[in-house]
């Protein structure tokens, strides 16, 4: 297997050169050997690992979570159930984000419906809502 330059790895994986360097610094891909002239020399497994990272990111995993998945892969004491638990936690996280996005959408729709097209910005309900100070709880006002 012939060593590959960072440019070749970037082209083959579809990941930018700076991203490859970043993943190397963060420990997501192993530090490659260096040629006598100092150039990185990657092997084919780096491309597989970069594809893994990209697919995991597409599923919503953070880089920290991806590290954990890599760790699970090499830990002989873990099972598929451990990986499933990580995936289940990610599903719950995504569900929470969806609920939050739905609340944001509902609030924005309510504000846009209250907005008249010919109203001056000084009377715009959207801008008024954004400028309004949050209400303090009674606990905060009594201290």
Q: What is the pLDDT of residues 80-122, one digit of tens each?
A: 999 999 999 999 999 999 999 999 999 999 988 888 777 788 8
Residue 129 has pLDDT above 90, yes or no: no
Cβ-proximal residues to 26 (8 Å cutoff; 6+ apart), any chain: 63, 67
CATH, domain range 1-60: 1.10.1660.10
Residue 142: pLDDT band with limits 50, 70, 90: low
Give the per-residue pLDDT at 113.
87
Is the distance from CB of 67 to CB of 77 less than 8 angstroms?
no
Tell me how long the chain is.
143
Cβ-proximal residues to 23 (8 Å cutoff; 6+ apart), any chain: 15, 29, 50, 53
What's the predicted TM-score (pTM) here?
Answer: 0.77
To the nearest 10°, report the CA torsion of 35, 37, 38, 40.
-40
């Amino acid at each position: 297997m012939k060593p590959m330059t960072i440019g070749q790895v970037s082209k083959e994986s579809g990941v930018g050169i700076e991203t490859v360097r970043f993943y190397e610094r963060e420990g997501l891909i192993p530090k490659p050997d260096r040629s006598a002239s100092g150039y990185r020399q990657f092997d084919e497994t780096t491309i597989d690992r970069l594809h893994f990272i990209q697919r995991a990111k597409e599923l919503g995993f953070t880089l920290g979570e991806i590290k954990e998945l890599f760790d699970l892969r090499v830990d002989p004491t873990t099972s598929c159930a451990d990986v499933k638990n990580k995936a289940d936690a990610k599903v719950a996280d995504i569900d929470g984000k969806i609920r939050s996005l739905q609340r944001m959408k509902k609030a924005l729709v309510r504000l846009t419906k209250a907005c008249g097209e010919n109203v001056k910005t000084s009377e715009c309900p959207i801008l008024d809502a954004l400028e309004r100070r949050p209400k303090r709880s009674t606990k905060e006002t009594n201290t």
